[in-house]
A and B are shown apart, each in its own frame.
Chain A
Amino acid sequence: MIPQSAEAAPQGNSRAAAQSHFRTLRPGTPFQPRIDALALKNDWYDWAGYRAPHSLWDEELEYFAIRSQAALFDISPMTKYRIEGPDAEAYLDRVTLRDVTRLKPGRVHYTAWCDDEGFVLDDGTLFRLSPTRFRLCSQERHLPWLLDSAFRFDVTVEEETEAIAGLALQGPTSSAILRDAGFAGVERLKVFDLAAFDHDGASVVISRTGFTGDLGYELFVPAGKALGLWDRLMVAGAPRGIRAIGYTALNRARLEAGLIVANADFTTSEHAIRADRTRMPDEIGLGFMVDPEKGNFNGRRAILEARAGRKLRHVLVGLEIEGNIPAEHAIVYHKKSQEVGLVSAAMWSPMAKRNIAIASLARPYGDTIVDDLWVEIYAMRELQYQKLMKRAKVVPRPFIKLDRRTASPPADF
């Protein structure tokens, strides 16, 4: 909460109450009472200013909850914008890369948006709640950019991060849990479908989306109804092994699914301090989103110029690395000698049974030159680095493909 100025504030309680705002450096989300109760490890990190758990009780088991049961993950800190008005579609078509006119009401798509220079500001998901109402979810905050983009569009843009709480329910039993919790018809949702359901006199929007590559759903609910929704899922999910999880587990699942994270796998344009850190969509594997046929959108000119002039300098690739030591933040070499890139995320994948990684390489490596690539892993072994030079192979993402993610209707696990 921002302290009010001396002139504007009424003298008295409200001002006194606001004075200690700085004592809470990281506020909690609407689910915090439930999460605090389960956070045996007290292992927190900062997600967009909120206190969020790395892990609640056991990283490994939390990960396996995603893959074998159902995992409940608080996504409330995700930045959310409500975009509404007669021009909302045209507005979003101009702001984002993909063709919004092809996104039907009741559908979600994964998209990204760029600045004038064609550098990616963020990626995120766009929910079309009605012909004229959308929700845009992202990693970073963009209100000034979104508001300035709205100039001369008949559209309102409001941040609703605080007002709307979000949960991801991911894993093979997630559909059955939602059904058992009373969200009748949820099994009819296909991947990237969304629908509104009743919850405690309010509406909860459930979409068949997620960040795990697994069967899963995301639920958005007014903050005041958040705890009731949590309890409803936990009670219904108990027989099917529902577990609350932290980010470390989710991060593993997303890597197996080959998904990227802004400011982890690439630096967003407004956060990049160094001029060469910005990335165009084609440089982080999002080139497929660019629709040159749909008319103007932010960055179009620059992106098409870069494509035509072969000015794309980087490429983001999936790697399979020999051995089983995760190559996190390892340098990638060509012929063991020339430095050509960096691994941004890596793990031993229990599902793929492979040592996988996401890396950014300087073209032409990873683009036209894909052989003779190596990563140098520094493995700390009792206060000594063991330097391992391991062969790396460029492989397609996702690293795992689960049929249950897309099966419709989902199987009743």
Chain B
Amino acid sequence: MTSSSPTWDAIVIGGGHNGLVAAATLAKSGRKVLLLEAGSDLGGAARTEEFAPGFRVSVLAHVLNRLHPDVVRTLELERHGLTIERGDFAPSVALSKDGALVLHGAYGEVLTGAAPSEQSAWKELRAQLLRYAGILKPFLARRPPDLSGMSMAEMAGLGQTALALKKLGKEDMRDFLRVLLMNVADLLDEQLADDRLKGLLAFDATLGSHLGPRSPTSLLGLYYRLAGEAGGAAGAQVIPRGGMGAVAAAIRAAADKAGVSIRPASAVARIIVEKTRAVGVTLAGGEELRARAIVSAINPATTFLDLVGPSEVDTGFVRKVRNIRMKGDAAKLHLALDRPPQFTGVDAVDHKGRLVIAPSPDHVERAFNPSKYGEFSPEPVMEITLPSLTDASLAPSGACVLSAVVQYAPYALKQGWTAGKPQFLAAIMAQLETHAPGIGSTVRHAELLTPADIEARYRVPGGHWHHGELQADQMLMSRPVAGWAGYDTPIEGLFLAGAGSHPGGGVSGAPGLNAARRIIAMKV
């Protein structure tokens, strides 16, 4: 195994969903692929794990809304057990003391709980948002344009986007450019009146980033969300049966079928660079493995600063990598409940959806403010799912799993998370109690993962699930760093394939697929 001729065509580091997608795609191209995962389980942040006896939950990502159709097609995931029907689409419910407001179908094809005037305003805004997100969609899927030398295919892709822009018509194109970098709150104020609806959209735009709704460019987050799709419908979302782990399992099945060799519990300690070329990896146990291509589907900073080491890359590049902002601001809550909770004013069927506590843009903004100064939100905003209502096997009979993404929880909490965590949990429970009275008394077990926990448990530096803030300056040609957004790296033979690369995080598989396609195109 330690001979100097490469044993493998490609070694993929990291068995998260992007690593699996990259490995499976490379193996399907006829390459001999080895995938190394540090943990004992595959799936990374897209795992389903037991957090209390009999209770299982999606560990980080819990809503599937952007798995790329090319990934589904390329890996034939439907044959490997992943199916998404229109009937699976989960509604989004804006919780409020003034009664719930519900977006049905694919991101509010139908809106209930709002005044007729608001319904027609929403219809227009939704169409506009989807139209504009549609322009960005190809950008947020393909390899970003290479400014230093564009291939014909890339030119053609850009040309198509230009054409799509032109098809918008003059007024619409102007408006697209006008709003592109706006903050979401201002745009919502222009077009909507209902605080509940605005609150929900403000939450969705800022979910997973260190932005409030009034932060410049916060609208981009909403476009990012709406550039995703499920079951062929833009903006649609599902709560996957079996949890997100089932999605990872389908991708893994595709990887197995394609002949990928998978080794869990094999942490990579070093990427071996010889004569400025990546030629293999050294495992934590000392074993050396060699390949023609090394594909890192883990964090870009970890890849270059820890596994490669700064001396093998240039100072300017190290500067850029060290400056990637990746301090998470979201926590994950798992509750094992004696019985399903009853959220006030929410229909039984809508409890299967995504329940959002973000009563107004102001509320979201106020929740964000303290995080700028290293404090958690005293009245946090959150998105809640009750996955055991969709898949009863996730909880013991009659009991219920609650999974919530909660903001804002700054990675570098000033008082430290040891002291802060119980206080933050109390603040979250107080919010839940307001909207689901009595829920507190049904809690059998609570697990709160702060960004610090997420960092330690899932090898995500800063606990940021996008592996780098997803803001305008860290997107497209600047992701993970300017000049190296195309999955290849300054080190020959080393490629990036994780969420830290374009287009970013979320269970999309796009970085993994794009990286594999790049390697295949480069004939590595």
Instruction: Report A's interface with B, CB cutoff 8 A.
Output: 90, 94-95, 115-117, 145, 148-149, 151-153, 295-296, 298-301
Of B275, B311, B315, the residue contacting A116 (CB under 8 A) is: B315
A270→B489 CA distance, assembly (Å): 24
Which residues of A sit under 8 angstroms from B490, Cβ to Cβ? 116, 301
Q: Is B305 an interface residue (CB 8 A)?
A: yes
Contact B305 A298 (CB under 8 A): no
Are B311 and A296 within 8 A (Cβ)?
A: yes
Compute how far the CA of A46 lies from the CA of B312 in the bound complex, rounded to whole angstroms.
Answer: 38
| Contact of A299 with B318 at beta-carbon distance under 8 Å, contacts A152-B305, A152-B309 already known | no
Residues from chain A with Cβ under 8 Å of B276 in the complex: 295-296, 300-301
| Given contact pairs A295-B275, A300-B276, A90 touches B311 in the complex (Cβ within 8 A) | yes
Q: How many A-B residue pairs have CB under 8 A?
A: 46
B307-318 contact mask (Cβ, 8 Å, vs A): 1 or 0: 001111111111
Task: Tell me, in angstroms, the Cα distance from A299 to B490 when the chains sit together.
Answer: 11
Residues of B at under 8 Å CB distance from A? Answer: 273, 275-276, 305, 309-319, 322, 490
Q: B192 to chain A: closest CB distance in Å?
A: 46
Q: Note all chain B residues with C-beta closer than 8 A to A300.
A: 276, 314
**B275 / chain A contacts, CB cutoff of 8 Å:** 295
Chain B residue with Cβ nearest A117: B316
The answer to whether A153 and B319 touch (CB under 8 A), given A295-B275, A300-B276, A301-B276, is no
In the assembled complex, the CB of B147 is this many whole angstroms from the nearest CB of chain A, namely 13
Q: Would you call the interface of chain A mostly helix, strand, loop, or mixed?
A: loop
The reply to whether A299 and B314 contact each other, CB–CB distance below 8 Å, is yes
Residues of B within 8 A of A301 (CB): 276, 314, 490
**Are B312 and A116 within 8 A (Cβ)?**
no
A295-B275, A300-B276 known; A145-B311 Cβ under 8 A: no
New contact pairs (20) apart from A116-B316, A153-B310, A298-B315, CB-CB < 8 Å: A95-B315, A115-B315, A116-B314, A116-B315, A149-B315, A151-B310, A151-B318, A151-B322, A152-B309, A152-B310, A295-B275, A295-B276, A295-B311, A296-B312, A296-B314, A298-B314, A299-B314, A300-B276, A301-B276, A301-B314
A300 → chain B, closest Cβ, in Å?
Answer: 7
**Which residue of chain B is the closest to A151 with respect to CB atoms?**
B310
> Which A residues lie within 8 Å of B273 (CB)?
296
A151 to B301, CA, bound (A): 13
Interchain CB contact under 8 A, A116 and B317? yes
List 15 contacting pairs A-B, 8 Å CB cutoff, sorted by A: A94-B311, A116-B317, A117-B316, A148-B315, A152-B309, A152-B311, A296-B273, A296-B276, A296-B313, A296-B314, A298-B315, A298-B316, A299-B314, A301-B314, A301-B490
Question: With A and B bound together, what is the CA distance between A257 and B305 in angstroms?
Answer: 43
Q: Would you give the shortest CB distance from A347 to chain B, in whole angstroms?
A: 37
In the complex, A197→B426 CA distance in Å?
Answer: 70
Residues in A with CB closer than 8 Å to B315 are 95, 115-116, 145, 148-149, 298
Look across to chain A and name the residue whose beta carbon is closest to the beta carbon of B315.
A149
Nearest-neighbor residue (CB-CB) of B273 within chain A: A296
* Chain A, Cβ-Cβ closest to B320: A116
With a CB–CB cut-off of 8 A, which chain B residues contact A117? 316
Cα–Cα distance between A296 and B312 once the two chains are bound (Å): 5
Tell me if B311 and A148 are in contact (CB < 8 A). no
Q: How far is the CA of A192 from the CA of B319 in the complex (A)?
A: 34
CA distance A304 to B317 in the complex (A): 17
- CA separation between A365 and B315, bound complex, in Å? 33
Q: Which residues of B contact A149 (CB under 8 A)?
A: 315, 318
Q: B316 touches which one: A115, A153, A295, A296 (CB < 8 A)? A: A115
Q: Which residue of A lies closest to B483 (CB)?
A: A116
Chain A, Cβ-Cβ closest to B316: A116
In the complex the two chains form, what is the Cα distance from A90 to B312 in whole Å? 11
What residue of chain A has the Cβ atom nearest to residue B314's Cβ?
Answer: A116
| Contact partners of A152 in chain B: CB under 8 A | 305, 309-311
Q: Which residues of B lie under 8 Å from residue A116 when comparing CB positions? A: 314-317, 490
B322 neighbours in A (Cβ, 8 Å): 151
Q: Cα distance A153–B315 when bound, in Å?
A: 12
Evaluate contact between A148 and B314: CB separation under 8 angstroms: no
Least Cβ–Cβ distance between A141 and chain B, in angstroms:
15
Report the separation of the CA atoms of residues A296 and B313 in the bound assembly, to the nearest whole angstrom: 7
